[in-house]
Structure 1
Amino acid sequence: MTRAEGSGAPGVDPRELWLTPDPDRPRRGRRPAFSREAITVAAVALADAEGIDAVTMRRVAAEVGAGVMSLYSYAPDKETLLDLMIDHVNGELPASDPLTGDWRADLKAIGHLQRDHMLRHPWLATAVPARRTLGPRTLAFLEHALAALRPSGLDGGARLEVFAQLTAFVAGHVAHEVAQAEAALSPDRATAEALYLTAVAADGHHPELAEALASAGRPVTPDATFTRFLNRLVDGLDAG
């Protein structure tokens, strides 16, 4: 594999990565003891367990029992490995579920699928927005999403934009959820934070905040919050 010419960024030409024959299938000689699939699976397991920063070529080589230099014929750098990892886990997304024909309902269902998927693989929320290469599994889910949006009447380009907007929203929301979970406040600290905001709202200098805090309470569970935000996004889309 070679770096994409003129890209100015690490990685290989996506045509070479996704459209060339399986690199695990040598023209002659013995089949190697490991494969690109095994390397990808090992990298995903590391990322799921320890976060994306734990994924190094040396760590992955140790997991599959290979010399680190031998990995470079399968993934010449971490950027390419990340492309492989994202496409591998995106194979978990259902790309053939029946569609209802109600594009808003179907798009909301897709948003929930994406959130559940990113929560299973928390590193995805920060990795996906930086990627540009779409592998075959990712393209299968994209095709499903574009089909879900067809009844909206939007042209193809607008449907691509809507799906990109949805994916960016879900990734941002999940990244926030994960960060909040990691920095969870103790009960005492949470109480102190609530009392602080109450005091600020009562000082007369923050009327908008006071009104917001005095409004009717809403469920604040992660699922309920995500659903409210998602509904506002999708219901507010202009299909004109």
Structure 2
Amino acid sequence: MDPQQLWLTPDRPRRGRRPAFSREAVTAAAVELADAEGLDAVTMRRVAAQVGAGVMSLYSYAPDKETLVDLMVDRVNGELPVTGALSGDWRTDLKAVAHHQRALMLRHPWLPAALSTHRSLGPHALAFLEHALAALRPTGLDGAAKLEVFSLLTGFVASHVSHELTRATTAKSPDRAAAEARYLTTVAADGHHPELARALAAPGRPLTPEATFTRFLDRLVDGLDTAP
């Protein structure tokens, strides 16, 4: 659907009897369904049942599922903070942007997959983009480079959260983890993998999801080159 028509056309009732629901209600129902059962569960028929409407009546608000997902993505983007004061330290502020994105994706586990195919241009997404670009102002990067940094950051967060969610649902059994540890110890001691041996001998680090995400994020953001 044409983004100008989708985002700049008011959600006003059609002529005749006032409808019993709105684009907002349709989108909220779809988000609720996706949060509970995943994005594949979101069909026009299921959403219509959620709002108590006929399937055909939904098409005046979202002509297809692709448009409905665009609406869903922008709705949840409205949960992201966009008004807080920035510190002026662009790395600190950019890391805060990423932590907010991760929290949002963990609340809505379908979002990383949706972002892989939907470039949201809705008002909430653009407001958060504006906030992120403001965080990058001290870098002196040009506009195109700032957009690339934001895209890189969002892609990293979505990929990491997808992996995080997968690990949470397919955790290895203690026996499997122990067997893998024994195998790697044996391989590292064979003399053919000295780099692996040194890596495994290094002190361990906290493996909680939050700590792991923060370490990876630090490596990404601290390593960004902002030279012209």
Query: 2-side partners of 1:48 and 1:198: how far apart?
Result: 41
| Shift of residue 25, structure 1, vs aligned partner | 2.4
| Shift of residue 234, structure 1, vs aligned partner | 0.5
Q: Let me know the Cα RMSD of the aligned residues.
A: 1.1
- Which residue is equivalent to 1:25? 13
Q: What are the Cα deviations for residues 129-169 of structure 1, in whole angstroms up to 9, with x where unaligned?
A: 22124100000000000001001111111111111110000
**Residue 220 of structure 1 pairs with residue 168 of structure 2:** no
Query: 2-side partners of 1:133 and 1:234: how far apart?
Result: 23
Greater relative contact order (Cα 8 A, min sep 6): structure 1 or 2? 2
- Which residue is equivalent to 2:54? 67
Decide which of 16, 19, 22 is 1:35's aligned counterpart.
Answer: 22
**Residue 209 of structure 1 pairs with residue 196 of structure 2:** yes
- Which residue is equivalent to 2:3? 14
- Which residue is equivalent to 1:88? 75
Query: What code does the residue aligned with 2:23 have?
Result: R
Query: 2-side partners of 1:48 and 1:133: how far apart?
Result: 18
Q: What are the Cα deviations for residues 82-120 of structure 1, in whole angstroms up to 9, with x where unaligned?
A: 000000000000011110000010001111111111111
Query: What code does the residue aligned with 1:235 have?
Result: D
Give the gaps of 5 or more residues in structure 2. Answer: none
SS state at 2:116 partner: helix
Q: Is the 8 A contact 2:73 2:120 kept in 1?
A: no
Decide which of 167, 170, 180 is 1:180's aligned counterpart.
Answer: 167
SS state at 1:130 partner: coil
Query: What code does the residue aligned with 2:7 have?
Result: W
Q: Is the 8 A contact 1:56 1:78 kept in 2?
A: yes
Query: What code does the residue aligned with 1:127 have?
Result: A
Superposition map of 1:99-138 within 5 A: 99-138=86-125
Query: 2-side partners of 1:203 and 1:60: how far apart?
Result: 58
Q: Is the 8 A contact 1:14 1:133 kept in 2?
A: no
Mean CA deviation greater in 194-203 or 47-56:
194-203
Give the gaps of 5 or more residues in structure 1. Answer: 1-11
Query: 1-side partners of 2:190 and 2:49: how far apart?
Result: 59
Query: What code does the residue aligned with 1:14 have?
Result: P
